[in-house]
Amino acid sequence: MRNDSVKLAVLYTSGEELTWPDSLDPETGIFTYFGDNRRPGTELHDTTRAGNLLLRNAFERAHGSADDRLRVPPFLYFEKSVPGRAVRFRGLLAPGAATLTSDADLSAIWRNASGSRFQNYRAFFTVLDVGVVPRDWLDAVLSGAPTISAGCPEPWRDWVEGRVYRALVAPPTVTIRSKADQLPSDPTGRAILQTIRDYFSTRPTDFEACAVEVWRLMAPSTGSCTVTSPSRDGGRDAIGQYLLGPNADKVSVEFALEAKCYGQDSGVGVREMSRLISRIRHRQFGVFVTLSYFNRQVYDEVRTDGHPIAMVCGRDVVDVLRDNGFSDRAAVQAWLNSRFPGVTD
């Protein structure tokens, strides 16, 4: 691998690496994958299997000429299945995406573990619209044939020759998440939520500022956002602006945010959600952030009636904190102390 001889690459994700959460967005066909420098003590490109070196070279060539892309090995994406050691093939990947630049599709991110800072890659791939990958083509590639030789899937050829991404996408569907889907299933995730609850236990209204910061992590295009006074909130814990369009001519869309620092057994009910819906004005949308979950009836009514509400549950909070490097109780505690001083432990 270090001598640049890789002809075919396999990316495998177990879905169990909570600190480095690989994920697939079926609506866009974009797969997020983290490199193999997942522990401190090693330089970014000096990993045992040289996986990060492979990522660097592949993404570098992805933005080059057609001849450069000919030197990119096809990536096959597998994920853990059940039972036992079973795996499932999810698709043929091309490095990058049509909507991402060379600065965005591969980036080195910093993490902190055991008091040591280190870097790892976050890479974005596109799952190509290929139902079956011919074995004869894979055998030929492994034997040294060009990746656009006979039997090559057409979406791969289009990508090599013109950097055209023909993604395998799934149409959006109405999603009603269960209580189990909305809460973290692992002990560390549950501990993260409890750390936040404990931090704001004596001053629950201060959680509103935390909810705004969580939303900013999820939606970086959020502009100004003001936490309202408890006595004059008009049914809204915060009011903010979400910015759309080119930098020189942004369009601002106003939103109202509601925050609940609930325990894991206290779901958001119809009364709380109705309060937010009734306060949303024309051309606004709503954001509801809770550390617990939304009751089935609430979820069903909001989605079925088409209310423009982003529902952020406990698992979402944990996921976005992990995505930004706050992957355990100690890291989240440090984030709370730094971002929201004045609240005693």
Mean pLDDT, to the nearest integer, of 204-210? 92
pLDDT of 344 reads: 44
Mean pLDDT, to the nearest integer, of 84-98? 91
Q: Is the pLDDT of residue 232 over 80?
A: no
- Most confidently modeled range among 15-24, 88-97, 335-344: 88-97
Mean pLDDT, to the nearest integer, of 50-77? 96
pLDDT of 2 reads: 60
Mean pLDDT, to the nearest integer, of 336-340? 94
What residues are paired with 92 via a beta bridge?
76
Return d(Cα 277, Cα 283) in angstroms, integer.
Answer: 13
The pLDDT-based confidence of 235 (bands split at 50, 70, 90) is low
CA distances in angstroms from 224 to 147, 250, 260, 284, 345, listed in the order given: 49, 13, 21, 15, 28
Q: What percent of the chain has pLDDT over 70?
A: 96
Mean pLDDT, to the nearest integer, of 116-127? 94
The string over 65-99, giving b where at least 16 C-beta atoms fall within 10 Å of a residue's C-beta and e elsewhere, is eeeebebbbbbbbebeeeeeeeeeebbbbbbbbee
pLDDT of 208 reads: 95
pLDDT of 3 reads: 58
pLDDT of 1 reads: 53
Give the three-state DSSP class for 95: strand
pLDDT of 106 reads: 96
Secondary structure string (H, E, C) spanning 238-297: EEEEEEECCCCCCEEEEEEEEEECCCCCCCECHHHHHHHHHHCCCCCEEEEEECCCECHH
pLDDT of 230 reads: 67
Q: Which tens digit of pLDDT belongs to each residue from 300-331? A: 999 999 999 999 999 999 999 998 889 889 99
pLDDT of 204 reads: 86
DSSP 52-77: HHHHHHHHHHHTS-HHHHTTSPPEEE
Q: Which tens digit of pLDDT belongs to each residue from 189-202? A: 999 999 999 999 99
Instruction: Check if the beta carbon of residue 102 is closer than 8 Å to that of residue 63.
Output: yes
Mean pLDDT, to the nearest integer, of 44-57? 93
The pLDDT-based confidence of 62 (bands split at 50, 70, 90) is very high
Q: Which tens digit of pLDDT belongs to each residue from 2-29? A: 657 899 999 999 877 777 889 999 889 9
Mean pLDDT, to the nearest integer, of 265-271? 94
Q: Is the pTM of this model over 0.85?
A: no
Q: Which domains does the chain have, with CATH numbers?
A: 9-162 (2.30.280.20), 179-339 (3.40.1350.10)
Q: Which tens digit of pLDDT belongs to each residue from 281-294? A: 888 999 999 999 99
pLDDT of 6 reads: 93
Instruction: Check if the beta carbon of residue 189 is closer than 8 Å to that of residue 318.
Output: yes
Q: Is the pLDDT of residue 83 over 90?
A: no
Take residue 116 and report the two structure tokens written for it: 């040591």
Weakest mean pLDDT among 78-87, 105-114, 218-227, 236-245: 78-87
